[in-house]
Amino acid sequence: MSNIKTAIVTGASSGIGRAIAIHLAQAGMHVYMTGRNEEKLELIRDQIEKTGGRASISAFDIRDIKKLQHFVQQAAQQTGRLDVMVNNAGLHLHGEIAEADPDIWREMIDVNIMALLAGSQAAIRAMRQHPDTAVGHIINISSGNAKEPGKDFYSATKHMVNALCEALTHELADEPIRVSNIMPGAVATNFGRSVDPVRIQELAGKLGIDVEIKKDEHLPDALLERIHAAMGQIFLSADDIAKAVLYVLNQPQNVVVREVYLTAPDVYLGKEFSM
């Protein structure tokens, strides 16, 4: 078995997943990354390898549960261990329940819940097969929206993620496998996928950026950097979430961090962002 820890990160081609993958690689882990955009994954892998890190990639739709579980098994087989599983992939599609296409609900359930369950199951089985690993760790990236499950359908799916974390915690209580739940508040990287494009367009205009924002698309890196630089008291950065993951992983064996809720100061104090 390799002495180098193995970590898996889903939804790693951009945003929070990308930041987590890079930070884990910088911490000396061999990071296995999955996402739908192969080109972006290749760029991240190259970035990690140029700085002496180790990374492997596989591009596929995480709703394909068999592929996801095979990917997890393959990572453990190739390295002889699995130490960390980060279920980061998530999807927020807009639409009021009374008006939405039911396919939207199914897609969010498949990504936010089913993929997390399938990834966790495969990770647990892999960790059990390699008992020489001192402690396995499953980290689920939920959302601050889970605190308001009645807000919309997306929030309800993240509330279920929290419940599943508790269920796994009980199931694995007698095993050396920890489960931690991280709930980010407003993060600049996912801002464009959870807020009306009109509001984002207005925000970009106030920051002096002329850019076309399309619904459900990721925001350009330049805009994300400007948003966070100008409004750091409202938006967290992807690096903030990645550092929280490292904090959880770096605790001694007698300490288990069950839940982390991260928000920017103004959000925590209840100050509402207005355009």
Helix axes 238-249, 15-26, angle to 10 degrees: 40
Answer yes or no: do 82 and 101 share one domain: yes
User: Does position 181 have pLDDT exceeding 60, yes or no?
Assistant: yes
Global pTM? Answer: 0.84
273 occurs within a structural domain: no
pLDDT, tens digit (0-9, with 9 covering 90-100), for 44-96? 999 999 999 999 999 999 999 999 999 999 999 999 999 999 999 998 887 78
Of 61, 87, 88, 90, whose CA–CA distance to 154 is shortest?
90
Number of domains in the chain: 2
**DSSP H helical ranges for the chain:** 15-26, 38-50, 65-79, 102-109, 115-129, 153-171, 188-194, 197-206, 221-230, 238-249, 265-268
Answer yes or no: do 246 and 133 share one domain: yes
Answer yes or no: do 84 and 66 share one domain: yes
Band of residue 272 on the pLDDT scale cut at 50, 70, 90: very low
119 occurs within a structural domain: yes
Answer yes or no: do 216 and 101 share one domain: no
217 occurs within a structural domain: yes
Both tokens assigned to 1? 């078995």
User: Does position 264 have pLDDT exceeding 80, yes or no?
Assistant: no
pLDDT, tens digit (0-9, with 9 covering 90-100), for 188-203? 665 445 555 566 666 6
Per the structure, the complete domain to which residue 206 belongs is given by: 190-235
Answer yes or no: do 127 and 248 share one domain: yes
271 occurs within a structural domain: no
List the CATH number of the domain containing 56.
Answer: 3.40.50.720
CA 80-170-140 angle, 5° bins: 60
Answer yes or no: do 30 and 151 share one domain: yes
pLDDT, tens digit (0-9, with 9 covering 90-100), for 232-241? 556 788 899 9
CA distance 38 to 150: 35
Answer yes or no: do 66 and 202 share one domain: no
Question: Which pLDDT does position 213 carry in this prediction?
Answer: 60
39 occurs within a structural domain: yes
Non-local (6+) Cβ contacts of 185 within 8 A are 144, 236, 261, 262, 263, 264, 267, 268
Question: Which pLDDT does position 206 carry in this prediction?
Answer: 63
- Average pLDDT of span 89-117: 91
Question: Which pLDDT does position 185 carry in this prediction?
Answer: 81
Band of residue 274 on the pLDDT scale cut at 50, 70, 90: very low
Answer yes or no: do 15 and 139 share one domain: yes
Mean pLDDT of the chain: 85
Catalytic positions: 154
Answer yes or no: do 97 and 223 share one domain: no
User: Does position 182 have pLDDT exceeding 50, yes or no?
Assistant: yes
